[in-house]
Structure 1
Amino acid sequence: MVWCNQRWLILGASGGIGEALGEQMARKGARLLLASRSPTPCRAEGSTYVRIDLASEDVEAQMADICQRYPDIDGVIHCAGQGLFAAVEQTPLQELERLWRVNLRSAYAVARCFSSYFRQRGHGELVFIGSTFGSIGFPGYSAYCATKFALRGLTEALRREWADSGIAVRYIAPRATRTGMNSPAVVAMNRALGNRSDSPEAVALAIVRTIERKRGRRYLGWPERLFVAVNNLIPAVVDTALRRKLSIIQSYLKSEY
């Protein structure tokens, strides 16, 4: 079985997708290291809590310490993330840097630390949780999109750079998910736009199945998968579609401030 007795490190496990993922993987027999910035009760059976601050300057040293303490990690899932719904003129550089540290810089640190770790072991998996907004630029999410587009590019490059290494790189992009990351304005906007959203449990199940089926990349939700494909081939079509919805988006964007 894929999970039986395997040890996995989940980054961002204190809530939302990460918490749901830990519970599902534990039921399948995985041994888990649940990492977050502040201690939380480990509800997943057989799991161990480890502290890590993904926004810190010494994030690489913290990951190296985990590698040293747990030399039998088979896979890492980076599902930590910070969101922001704000216009560019309302977003100071400090806010962009905050998102950049958690959404991209920490993912890069994972790749640096675990590449040598997995090469020594001869195998390993790195799973990165992105977003539909890592493929489609959306009004009000310019800073968030910038970090998630970069994360998608990172995973694509790593997959090709490590093609002969035995290290598997997987990228999974959920659509809107019902987590605490969404402000009331975002929830109301999605409702007004008719955007569908998924539960953390549904996204966690999709992540588990993607790993089990050894898929390199997966985009979740319909018609979001179609929009991603259209945006890649004919971005002007998506430009026009979002232009028609811009007044609605702007009304909720202004309500945030």
Structure 2
Amino acid sequence: MRLHDREFLLLGGTGGIGQALIEPLVQAGARVIVASRHPDRIQHGAGVSAVRLDLAAEDLDLQLQMLSEAYPDIDGVIHCAGQNHFAGIDHLSVAAIDSQLLVNLRSAMLVARHFAPRFERKGLGALVFVGSTFGSIGFPGYTAYCASKFGLRGFSEALRRELADTPVQVVYVAPRATATAMNPEAVNELNQALGNRMDAPSAVASQILYAMENDARRRFLGWPEKLFVVLNGIVPRLVDKAMLKQLPVVRRFLNREVMS
């Protein structure tokens, strides 16, 4: 898809990956509307607008309607908002489970429900969903997060096939571990202990733009993470064994943030 002279709604623009997307989009000639619960935290510049949007709100569909009326030229949405909580299932509060499902999955579904028919009528539109490696591989301590991201991957796949005979493009990009403020210190230390590489938000942003510009339907980032995604789909027992070996290390860091 072309980026020049497009108007993108960016969800999660105050997070690490979202922030890293703004400048490259503007440099490519796009206009960017950054939606956040705290639009006052967004730095304004040429080609950038800030709007208030609460992705966990019960009336999200009404907020989207009002946003569309204010910005009728939107012809693309990039959904890279997300929440995670690294904790054992017995330490996950109901609020923590609900917030991840609302922001990571429900909001993406409502955004697509709102914009897909509008883009189809326009004859042009793109829905870009930023998922996770944990949308393909279940990982200890991330049960609710994995559930929401598995759901996002399945939703985007079904949506892409549902809209295959329309001009609406559906793109799914799955980063591996990324060095953002969303990660508590325990997660950073866990990744270091396991030898997991963490990508910079700018590197992830460039891969998202690459997927968009090259009309990729799905793109998984990182090696050997891409290999484990394939193995987990074909021979999950091998990944089970690998995870079992890592479990004692995971347990050293699990629930530390919750209990502190």
- Which range, TM-score by smaller chain? over 0.9
Aligned twin of 2:66: 65
Distance, in Å, in 1 between the alignment partners of 2:120 and 2:15 is 31
| Deviating 4+ runs (over 3 angstroms) | none
Distance, in Å, in 2 between the alignment partners of 1:104 and 1:254 is 24
> Match for 2:6: what amino acid?
Q
Q: How much does 1:23 deviate?
A: 1.3
Q: Is the 8 A contact 2:91 2:255 kept in 1?
A: no
Distance, in Å, in 1 between the alignment partners of 2:113 and 2:138 is 28
Distance, in Å, in 2 between the alignment partners of 1:15 and 1:254 is 23
SS at match of 1:18: helix
Distance, in Å, in 1 between the alignment partners of 2:121 and 2:250 is 49
CA deviations 1:60-114 (Å, max 9, x no partner) are 1111111111111121000000011000011132221111110011001111100
Alignment of 1:230-249 (within 5 A): 230-249=231-250
Scaled by the length of structure 1, what TM-score is found? 0.97
Q: Does 1:29 pair with 2:35?
A: no
Aligned twin of 1:180: 181
Alignment of 1:214-229 (within 5 A): 214-229=215-230
SS at match of 2:176: coil
The unaligned stretches of length 5 or more in structure 1 are none
CA deviations 1:195-230 (Å, max 9, x no partner) are 001000000000000000000000000000000000
Aligned twin of 2:132: 131
Distance, in Å, in 1 between the alignment partners of 2:76 and 2:85 is 29
Aligned twin of 2:152: 151
Q: Does 1:17 pair with 2:17?
A: yes
Distance, in Å, in 2 between the alignment partners of 1:44 and 1:132 is 33
Distance, in Å, in 2 between the alignment partners of 1:243 and 1:149 is 21
Distance, in Å, in 2 between the alignment partners of 1:44 and 1:201 is 19
> Match for 1:233: what amino acid?
I
Scaled by the length of structure 2, what TM-score is found? 0.96
Q: How much does 1:136 deviate?
A: 0.2
Judged with a 3 Å threshold, the aligned counterparts in structure 2 of structure 1 residues 8 and 254 are, in CA distance, closer, same or farther, namely closer
Distance, in Å, in 2 between the alignment partners of 1:195 and 1:181 is 17
Alignment of 1:203-222 (within 5 A): 203-222=204-223
Aligned twin of 1:3: 3
> Match for 1:30: what amino acid?
A
Count matched residues: 257
Q: Does 1:104 pair with 2:105?
A: yes
SS at match of 2:254: helix
Distance, in Å, in 1 between the alignment partners of 2:42 and 2:159 is 34
> Match for 1:20: what amino acid?
A
> Match for 1:6: what amino acid?
R
RMSD between aligned alpha carbons? 1.1
Q: Is the 8 A contact 1:155 1:169 kept in 2?
A: yes
Distance, in Å, in 2 between the alignment partners of 1:132 and 1:245 is 17
Distance, in Å, in 2 between the alignment partners of 1:66 and 1:98 is 22
Distance, in Å, in 1 between the alignment partners of 2:89 and 2:6 is 43
Distance, in Å, in 2 between the alignment partners of 1:3 and 1:119 is 18
CA deviations 1:171-203 (Å, max 9, x no partner) are 000000000110000000000000001000000
CA deviations 1:38-80 (Å, max 9, x no partner) are 0223255320111101011111111111111111112100000
> Match for 1:34: what amino acid?
V
Aligned twin of 1:165: 166
Judged with a 3 Å threshold, the aligned counterparts in structure 2 of structure 1 residues 163 and 218 are, in CA distance, closer, same or farther, namely same
SS at match of 2:128: strand
Range 151-160 or range 88-97, more displaced: 88-97
Aligned twin of 2:55: 54
Aligned twin of 2:142: 141
Q: Is the 8 A contact 1:26 1:44 kept in 2?
A: no
Range 246-255 or range 206-215, more displaced: 246-255
> Match for 2:83: what amino acid?
Q
Q: Does 1:84 pair with 2:85?
A: yes
